[in-house]
Amino acid sequence: MNNKGLNAKIKIFIIVIYTIVLFSIILLSFGKSKINRFSEYQDKAYDDQIALNIRDIENRKSKLSTGSEDEEGKHEKSTHDLQIQLVKLRANTSIKNIKIYLAAKTLDNGYRYDEYTSSSKEMSTLTYTSLTSFTTFATKEIKELTKNGKKEEYLFDETPIEYYIRISYTLNDEKEERVLAYKTKALSFNQEKTFKNVEIRNIDNNNANYIESKDDPIKLKVTKTLISEESSLKEIKEDRLRVEFKVNSENLNKYKYDSDYLEKNNLISIELPKGPNDDDAWNVEPEINDIKFEIYGKIKNNDNKFSSYVKIYSIYGFFSKNRALSIATYKIDEVFNIDTLYIIAEGCIYNGTSQTFKTLYSVRVNDLPNI
């Protein structure tokens, strides 16, 4: 055999070996990514310097929006806008070089990714919150694809069901990077069964028009603008809901330990902890260290590929009683005729006589005060 033939065989052998090695590396990487990618993430939405929560809002588009100026679309469409709020937990500190990495497992068993790393975010000594938005992070839609010469409809459902947030930052003038990696899941339940015969609450006119809190350690205000004009192919008319969600400090403090217990146990707050030399260092109040809070609107739709409930607002993670969440304005095509809101939540209480709470109720949209 001549040298040219030998060299050719050697080259082919090297290429085959290289291909096998490269394929193995890729296979191992994807295998690791699916199994262990988020192994370092914890269900704790805070460290000793910062805390976080994530907001998920579903934007439902009617067939009037998904079609053309001359014809309705065949199906509705949903997109999800996500927003991450960071809360600084200590006074007189500076959080620098903030980078945010976001991933979500979707209903179709895939993953969506995004990040905020292009510019430097920070919270100065006088800043206690930071907001980062991820618009149209995920989509649910029906697409028409051609297979074997025939057009078929396929459902692509990127509805987030699990959230993974990684925050890297530096503290003050430190060089070493710190990392907070948090994971959480959306609530999982059967909407029709859960919302059947649920408690209907009224608006508390004596409490700034918040919905009745009853014993809940959280409170919710929703105001509305319902328009009388009808949507058309050429112009969509939208109803608006304004959502304001806060800690109900009065109800939360019902879970506070008595003075004897507090003086003996030296509890420490997550947010703005008191110094050991403070006169009232022992006087520690409860906090909501983790929450899953979701609002669904009941709509009238005629697309069986989409739920008749739309997630108009949700919050997951640490819920600060000192730093307010941004107020959300939700818009929806009037053709959906949203008539009832369903509120479902569960949370964890830190430094309290009870460790958890749950709530479930509804409110009629027509009962909501106007914006």
> What's the pLDDT tens digit per position in 173-192?
999 999 999 999 999 999 99
pTM beyond 0.85: the answer is yes
Low-confidence ranges of the chain (pLDDT < 70): 1-35
Nearest Cα to Cα of residue 285 among 310, 254, 260: 254
Cβ-based neighbour number of residue 351 at 10 Å = 19
Cα 107 to Cα 66: distance, rounded to the nearest angstrom: 22
The SS3 assignment for 254 reads helix
- Please tell me the predicted confidence (pLDDT) of residue 14: 61
Cα 81 to Cα 102: distance, rounded to the nearest angstrom: 12
CA 64-65-67 angle, to 5 degrees, is 75
Q: Are 81 and 59 in contact (CB under 8 A)?
A: yes
Q: Are 76 and 257 in contact (CB under 8 A)?
A: no
- Please tell me the predicted confidence (pLDDT) of residue 11: 52
DSSP string covering 22-83, please?
HHHHHHHHHHHHHHTTTTT-BS--B-SSEEEEEEEEEEEE-HHHHS-SSS--SS-EEEEEEE
- Please tell me the predicted confidence (pLDDT) of residue 158: 98
- Please tell me the predicted confidence (pLDDT) of residue 25: 44
The domain ranges of the chain are 3-25+42-367
Cα 72 to Cα 62: distance, rounded to the nearest angstrom: 9
